[in-house]
Amino acid sequence: METGGKARVKGLARIWPSVDSPEGARFATRQAFWAAILCASATLALSVLGVLGIKLFREYGLDFDLSNLFDTYLFGLIACGLWRRSRIAAVGGLLLYVGGIIIQWIVRPPNGVGVVWAVIITLWFTSGIRGTFAYRRFGGLGTGKGDTPNGGNAARSKEEHAIGGWLILVAIGLLVSPLLILINLGINILPTFEPTLWRVLTTPGTKAYHPLSGPIMVFEAIGNIALLCLSAYAIVCFFRKSRSFPTLMISILLILPAYLLLDLVLMVQIPIVAESVPKGFYWFVGGTISSGICVPYFRKSKRVKTTFVR
């Protein structure tokens, strides 16, 4: 049964939906998509808290640190793939999650609540595999959000181009950017919020104190998290071939050098971090050059205009 083009799913079907129809296949795939989003969000939050010395679930064998930021990135990529109903992403999501759970349970046996959640998330990822493979069997039929029917709309398929040419380099840059931001957050920014170091940097009278230290650290954390969110959203728009992607990408390319320049201006005010200014200057120059090349490309390229049309 459908209402407004969406299948009504009740009872046990919410955990193990039928994939005997295109609507059921879409629903099953969305389960895996949200499971990946949940895993990415929870891992990111617990990793940040772990860096700050807050270990919420250590008694359950969940001890998160900087290394788990890579898991956040992987689950984010898997979510993007599941949005596109990728069978590879569906299988990868299940393997990544189950593998992580097995390793955790080897280190420390789970409790009842942990087992229940693990079973539910595993079923959702399994539904993603069932849904993506079933969706291909139906030939991508349906008109739900995020659909990519085989052959597509007859009128659109004549005009729409596949992702190729210089856009391959754009795709690589988009996929690498969140990882670089996560590494920067984990190595350079989040450790400064550790209570002991924070007190040293922000308490008047200490050797490392400067009145701008606290505001700059907060500014950099907010800036990097905002860039991370924009990058993730840009990846989704890119692989959906959204017509809003070129404008979004141009905005990011203009925002990034402005952010890096402001960060440099603030950093030179603090002697203790002035030694890292040359590295920041190289990032600013690189960002400015990239913007100077890519902004005209996104504005003038015929391939861009014929690729992002949805």
Return mean pLDDT, the chain: 78
Is the same domain home to 178 and 129?
A: no
Query: Domain limits at 239?
Result: 167-307
Flag whether 161 is in a domain: no
Coarse DSSP helix, strand, coil percentages of the chain, rounded to the nearest 5 percent: 75, 0, 25
Flag whether 2 is in a domain: no
Q: What is the pTM of this model?
A: 0.58
Give the end of a domain, one of 94, 121, 150. Answer: 150
Q: What is the DSSP code (8-state) at residue 189?
A: I
Strand pairing class (2-3; 6-7): antiparallel
Is the same domain home to 141 and 171?
A: no
Is the same domain home to 64 and 119?
A: yes
Flag whether 274 is in a domain: yes
Rounded to 5°, angle at Cα 130 from 42 and 154: 105
Q: What are phi and psi of 264, to 5 degrees?
A: -65, -45
Flag whether 160 is in a domain: no
Is the same domain home to 81 and 203?
A: no
Flag whether 6 is in a domain: no
Is the same domain home to 126 and 172?
A: no
Q: Concatenated DSSP letters for 133-181?
A: HHHHHTTS-S--TT---TT--HHHHTTPPPS-TTHHHHHHHHHHHHHHH
Is the same domain home to 134 and 179?
A: no
Flag whether 156 is in a domain: no
Taking every pair of Cα atoms in the chain, the longest distance, rounded to a whole number of angstroms, is 71
Is the same domain home to 79 and 173?
A: no
Flag whether 229 is in a domain: yes
- Give the per-residue pLDDT at 174: 86
Give the total number of structural domains in the chain: 2
- Give the per-residue pLDDT at 153: 45
Is the same domain home to 173 and 301?
A: yes
Residue spans of the chain under pLDDT 50: 1-7, 60-61, 141-158
78 contacts 92 by C-beta, under 8 angstroms: yes
75 contacts 36 by C-beta, under 8 angstroms: yes
Is the same domain home to 190 and 76?
A: no
Whole-angstrom distance, CA of residue 178 vs CA of residue 76: 9
Is the same domain home to 260 and 133?
A: no
Give the end of a domain, one of 150, 176, 193. Answer: 150
Flag whether 4 is in a domain: no
Q: What are phi and psi of 3, to 5 degrees?
A: -140, 120
Is the same domain home to 142 and 108?
A: yes
Give the end of a domain, one of 117, 150, 183. Answer: 150
92 contacts 75 by C-beta, under 8 angstroms: no
Is the same domain home to 99 and 207?
A: no
For 87, 96, 159, 161, the CA distances from 306, given in Å and listed in that order, are 26, 35, 6, 6
Question: Which residue, among 35, 33, 43, 34, has the nearest Cα to 182 in the 3D structure?
Answer: 43
